[in-house]
Amino acid sequence: MKDGKQLIEKVRAVLEPHGLFLRGTVNMEPAEAGPDLADGQPCRSVVLIGNVGSSIWPAFQSWRKQSPRTDHPLDDWTKAVVRPVAAAFQATPFFPSDPPWQPFQQWAMRAEGLKSSPLGILIHPQFGLWHGYRAALAFDCPMPQTGSEPAAHPCDTCLDKPCLSNCPVDAVAPEHFDVSACRTHLATPEGEGGCMAAGCLARGACPVGASYRYQHEQLQFHMAALWRPL
């Protein structure tokens, strides 16, 4: 039987130099079918790993300068960091980019009580839209809670909804995000000088967690990934 609290603190300490945080824990219900572990045993818990603001950017950029160019450098960096950690602590790693697809958003909502914003991004009461879930460690036993306590959904008390009014092509609407309209706009001169240069204007208009806004270079990195032809 693992000492969950001690194990969690060790994992936290190993990830910290990379700017990765333990973002929350989901313990599976007795009758719940979680993902199978690498050894075929049933999963009893998943611990989410992710970034807060630009926490990962220095370590990622340092790795990127020394590594061959790839189509998905952030995914590759995450795996390079997390897989050895998983092996060291007898966990099975899962990544949002890899099949079999795991319900990362559902896990995040259960772990930290988050809900979706009009942009489709889960909004955190402290970090706003400036956070992410990059990986998960799955274990064969329950684990202690590692994320923040659930709090009120920020969008419920936001009267002005600036994320809905600041998109230059009205791609953002309640319950719908028009990805095609967004990507088409990004290829225009107006899009290149606006969202591509400074980050998504709708996302940037959200007042929640503004102090955690991504660095300029990181904003451009994510916009380039969104625009890249499929």
Written as one string, the DSSP assignment of 28-77 is PPTT---PBPTTSPBP-EEEEEEEETTTTHHHHHHHHHHS---S-HHHHH
Q: Other CB atoms closer than 10 Å to residue 141's CB: what's the count?
A: 13
Alpha-carbon distance of 215 to 210, in angstroms, equals 12
- Tokens 């950029």 sit at which residue? 61
Give the model's pLDDT for residue 150.
83
Give backbone dihedrals phi and psi of 131, rounded to 5 degrees, phi first: -160, 170
Give the model's pLDDT for residue 129.
97
Give the model's pLDDT for residue 225.
84
Residue ranges of the chain whose pLDDT lies below 50:
1, 230
Domain ranges of the chain: 4-151, 158-227
Give the model's pLDDT for residue 53.
97
Contacts of 65 (CB under 8 A, 6+ apart): none
Alpha-carbon distance of 99 to 97, in angstroms, equals 7
Q: Other CB atoms closer than 10 Å to residue 65's CB: what's the count?
A: 7
DSSP bridge pairs for 176: 173
- Tokens 């890249």 sit at which residue? 228
Give the model's pLDDT for residue 1.
47
Dig out the tokens for 171 from the structure: 């791609």
Structure confidence by residue, pLDDT tens digits, 59-109: 999 999 998 888 999 999 999 999 999 999 999 999 999 998 999 999 999
Alpha-carbon distance of 79 to 77, in angstroms, equals 5
Give the model's pLDDT for residue 229.
54
